[in-house]
Homo-oligomer: A and B are copies of this chain.
Amino acid sequence: MTNAERDLDLAAVVDALCRANHGCGRSSAEPLPSPDEVIGMMEALRRVLFPGYFGWSELTPETLCYHLGHTLDQVRRTMQTQVKRGLVFAPPQADGGETDTQRRAGAITDAFVERLPQIQALVASDVQAAYEGDPAANSPDEAIFCYPGVLAVTNYRVAHGLHELGVPLLPRMITEHAHSTTGIDIHPGATIGASFFIDHGTGVVIGETCLIGDRVRIYQGVTLGAKSFPLDADGNPVKGIMRHPIIEDDVIIYSGATILGRVTIGKGSVIGGNVWLTRSVPPDSRMTVQAPRQDAFESGGGI
């Protein structure tokens, strides 16, 4: 590249970009959470929750505790650092100094680690649900290894655990990583019971204030969303309102169905594919689209 013959004033571009960013708030010297560290920590937790499936092989009962303990200790350090960075985005507390934030991050991390056995029990129930719910599944191993739904729900369960402990930003980074990998978008704030199974999953969206019971099964393209949200006096959306559906135990929702607003889908109901629902239905309902009349060709829909 012979720059002599160029007109580009690189310094002017750099200056313009710098000026624009000075006002944008990240000129703070406080380091942000690192996406790579957070994702690496999630992968380590996956090894802990499914020992022998990811990362290690040839485990024996004798050596399992070494590998678990080793990984868990690493997770703990990484989590404390990243949680501490994330707390920059939390409402300030008491002292708020470096040492105080460090201490809070440590306490949150330890509380999370103590919950891991419960999280493990939940993901084990999810794996079993996947194996039992899909006639194409040949073994629970296949579900653990290959099922995007299992991956996304595992990430959600970890993210939800951190969310409940008041950690900002990190839970969303963890569920977005699953979203990117699977096309399944579960907000870490949602509450989901045991034995949850999402099949295929691409396009599934589960909103922040959803409340989902046990043994629920969902297919690709299902939206559990908000109908609308009220604005405050300044025209900004009011945050924190219960605006997503309640799905009771043993409900099945087939592909492409959309359920909007704080409605309740009663226990044991079945919502058919492509159904559009903005009202509550009682237990054991069977909702299906009555297929609209389909006639002569009109429009292509190609792009």
Q: Considering residues A32, A229, A252, which has the most beta carbons from chain B within 10 angstroms of its beta carbon? A: A32
Minimal beta-carbon separation of A249 from chain B (angstroms): 17
The smallest beta-carbon distance between A9 and chain B, in angstroms, is 8
The proximity string for A residues 115-138 relative to B, scoring 1 for CB distances below 8 Å and 0 otherwise, is 011001100100000001111101
Report chain B residues within 8 Å CB of A252.
302
When the two chains form the complex, which single residue of B25, B99, B256, B300 contacts A226, counting CB atoms closer than 8 Å? B300
One of B48, B106, B135, B146 near A1 (C-beta < 8 A): B106
Number of copies: 6
Q: For window 195-219 of chain A, which residues contact chain B by CB distance below 8 Å?
A: 199-200, 202-203, 205, 207-208, 219
Determine whether the beta carbon of B180 is less than 8 Å from that of A32: no
Interface centre among A7, A113, A254 (most CB of B within 10 A): A254
Residue of B nearest to A270 (CB): B297
With A51-B26, A67-B73 known to touch, is A225 a contact of B120 (CB < 8 Å)?
no
A226 to chain B, nearest CB (A): 5
A101 within 8 A of B: no
Decide if A273 touches B260 in the complex (CB within 8 Å). Answer: yes
Interchain CA distance A292-B199 in the complex, whole Å: 26
Determine the distance from Cα of A131 to Cα of B252 in the docked complex, in whole angstroms. 33
Q: Are A303 and B89 in contact (CB under 8 A)?
A: no
Tell me the nearest residue of chain B to A290, going by C-beta.
Answer: B293
- Of chain B, the residue at the smallest CB distance from A11 is B62
- If A135-B239, A255-B223, A301-B227 touch, does A200 touch B208 (CB 8 Å cutoff)? no
Contact yes or no, B226 A302, CB < 8 A: yes
Q: A3-B62, A20-B120, A299-B260 are in contact. Are A183 and B199 (CB under 8 A)?
A: no
Q: Which of B28, B57, B237, B254 contacts A135 (CB 8 A)?
A: B237
Given contacts A13-B113, A70-B69, A301 and B287 within 8 Å (CB-CB): no
Interface residues of A in 250-264 (CB under 8 A from B): 252, 254-256, 258, 260-261
Which B residue sits closest to A184, measured CB to CB?
B202
Question: Which residues of chain B have C-beta atoms less than 8 A from A121's C-beta?
Answer: 20
CA distance A257 to B207 in the complex (A): 19
On whether the beta carbons of B223 and A301 are closer than 8 Å, the reply is yes
Known A-B contacts A6-B106, A14-B65, A69-B69; the reply to A132 vs B236 at CB < 8 A is: yes
Known: A69-B63, A70-B69, A113-B8. A142 touches B183 (CB 8 A): no
Select one of B33, B60, B71, B237 contacting A134, CB under 8 A.
Answer: B237
Is A82 on the interface with B (CB-CB < 8 A)? no
Contacts of A134 in B (CB 8 A): 237
Q: Is A191 engaged at the interface, CB distance under 8 Å to the other chain? A: no
Give the nearest-CB partner of A133 in chain B. B237
> How far does the alpha carbon of A137 sit from the alpha carbon of B74 in the complex, in Å?
30
Contacts A10-B73, A17-B51 known; 7 new A-B pairs at CB < 8 A: A3-B29, A8-B110, A14-B68, A15-B65, A18-B65, A27-B59, A135-B229
